[in-house]
Structure 1
Amino acid sequence: MKENVEDLLTPNLWLALAAEMLGTMTITLLGCGSHATYQENNFLHVALTFGLTVATVVWVFNHVSGGHMNPAVTLAALFTRRVSIIRGVLYIVFQIIGGIIGAGVLYGLSSSRHFPYLGSNELSLSTSSAEGFGVEFMITLVYVLAYFACHDDKRSDLRGSAPLTLGLAVVACHVFAIPFTKAGMNPARSFGPALISDSWRDHWVFWVGPLVGGLVAGLLYEYIFAAGATFAGAKKCLLRTKKPRKQTEPEKAPLEEIKTDAIEVEDTKIDGEDAPEVVVDKTETAAEEKPGNGASADEVKKD
């Protein structure tokens, strides 16, 4: 809870939210806009538009927000503890807002007669809901795995551009999935056009498929495929919230001991102040031990 409150008060959070909203808006506007000239046998330009747009916005905003621009990525980051709960929830909210704004701008820039559905996702006539779910699950799984691999700080075996890698992953997934579902892969990108064009047929597929696929991909990479991933690390992460409860009791003992010692020291000082001071005159002592005439102490006493 404390971590969420501190994150909420961080100025970077609000800048990151603006970046997520603007990035998702750009993806929705440009990517869905490319569907205006979509043809069943000629959709490569749609895949390239989405891929290059994702690469661009990740390159621009990665240092600000991490370059999620996708609720599926944020959900995976949330369950792998890469972002706080409050940041993850706000990311998803602002991504959805960005998708709505992007679809609204696209609606204002295009002719509703020639482009009524604004690139909304829909299942092909030969694709069932279960098959659509499987397609969305797989393409989001691939993309989120690529995202986590690009953000693995412990890896030193790969060189190159992470944003370009993510863009190419988006292109590959779109080329595969467009004939089946028009490649949602991003619930915010799917929700914006569906809301503006009022197109809700099988819309649940484009939420459940990507979210489940992204979550599975995040957990798989974080605890199995990541550099240095171990079962002990996964167990430690899952039990992290229970540790403070176990450590609270033994931590009290040292504090009490220190407090007791401090009281004893104070008592000693007080006793020392109340005790009478004894002043010893070094001159008289020296005179008693060694009289001026060189006589011993016993002789002086006899005299």
Structure 2
Amino acid sequence: MWLINPRSSIEDLGKISFWKALAAEFIGTGFLVFVGCGAAVTSAPSQGTDAFVTRVALTFGLTVATMVWCICGVSGGHINPAVTVAFLVTRKISLIRGLLYMAFQCSGAVAGAALLFAVSTTEIAGGGFGCNGIRAKDGTTFIVTGTQAVLIEALITFVLIFTVFATCDSKRGDLKGSGPLQIGIAVLICHLAVIPLTGSSMNPARSLGPAVIRGDQCWNDHHVYWIGPMIGGAVAGLMYDLIFAADSSLRKLGDCLSGDDYDAEDDRDNDTKRAGRV
């Protein structure tokens, strides 16, 4: 299959830096859930108010920025399966790296939720516990339909992944400032917009962690928080990399779709060599 590069996948397993990257993804995602959902559970009495939305949005946005800043030099700072899928479909990482990143992100999210549960009071732990959902408190009245929720999650994840790819575009010379902060701002604005509708997950691992620990109604409509972000992330990654990236071209698109051993870095190196001969 065009997506699989067996050589690079196997080589990943033998590198110490690869296992450090997995540990970084575990820790980064764990603290994202612990801190972000911590803001949600401690704001439970005012849930649904502007103060609640603002507090939770700021916490998630700034936590993402902080964690990406801390680990981006080790793992790239994905801390989100949707980000990893986008990098996988654009062939910037190997299949093994992508699958293990997602496994460690999800396990880190569960660990973060478990830590939050361990330090929470019975009253807090018995509440919503930061779970995402599209139903009102009665469990039956839907705030938005399932289809609408999937579309919302896909769109806000598109914003996030589009920002990530723009930030990581090394060929652009017009970008200034902090890349992690720009990514955190993307998370912040999307949370401000749709927390009252879907809870603004834009990260399947973030939704999985509290659901595993809390259970009960946290599993209601859980598929929404995988389908939407994964689709939105993949579309955003492909669209930016193959159409809007500074080195995008029809030849790059053809190589990516047809080459069994396509490597984006090699492709950029060849572009540089060709430019030097002109």
Q: If the TM-score is normalised by the length of the shorter chain, which range does it land in? A: 0.7 to 0.9
Q: Distance between the aligned counterparts of 1:61 and 1:224, measured in 2?
A: 28
Match of 2:129 in 1: 118
Q: Does 2:18 align with 1:8?
A: no
Aligned to 2:274: none
Alignment of 1:182-221 (within 5 A): 182-198=199-215, 199-221=218-240
1:248-291 C-alpha deviation (Å, 9 max, x unpaired): xxxxxxxxxxxxxxxxxxxxxxxxxxxxxxxxxxxxxxxxxxxx
TM-score (norm 2): 0.85
Instruction: Please give the residue correspondences for 1:65-84 in structure 2 after superposition, counting only pairs within 5 Å.
Output: 65-84=75-94
- The amino acid that maps onto 1:22 is I
How does 1:135-214 map onto structure 2 within 5 Å?
A: 135-198=152-215, 199-214=218-233
Q: Distance in 2 between matches of 1:127 and 1:174?
A: 16
What's the secondary structure of 2:122's corresponding residue? coil
**TM-aligned CA distance change 1:28 to 1:157, over 3 Å:** same
Partner of 1:96: 106
Quick one: distance in 1 between partners of 2:21 and 2:210? 24
SS in 1 for 2:260: helix
> Which sections of structure 1, spanning at least 5 residues, go unmatched?
244-303
Question: Are 1:32 and 2:37 counterparts?
Answer: yes
Aligned-pair distance for 1:114? 2.9
SS where residue 191 of structure 1 aligns?
helix
Aligned match for 1:45, one of 25, 35, 55: 55
Percent pairwise identity: 45
The alpha carbon displacement at 1:242 in A equals 7.2
Bigger CA radius of gyration = 1
CA RMSD in angstroms comes to: 1.1
For residues 65 and 222 of structure 1, the distance between their equivalents in structure 2, rounded to whole angstroms, comes to 20
Query: Which consecutive segments of 4 or more residues in structure 1 shift more than 4 A?
Result: none
Structure 2: runs of 5+ lacking an equivalent: 1-5, 136-141, 263-278
Paired with 2:247 and 2:10, the residues of 1 have a C-alpha distance of: 31
The alignment partner of 2:221 has SS state of coil
Q: Please give the secondary structure, in 2, of the residue aligned with 1:241.
A: coil
Alignment of 1:234 with 2:239, yes or no, is: no
Q: List per-residue Cα deviations over 1:154-184 (Å, max 9, x = no partner).
A: 0001111001101111100100110101111
- Which residue in the other structure is 1:288 paired with? none
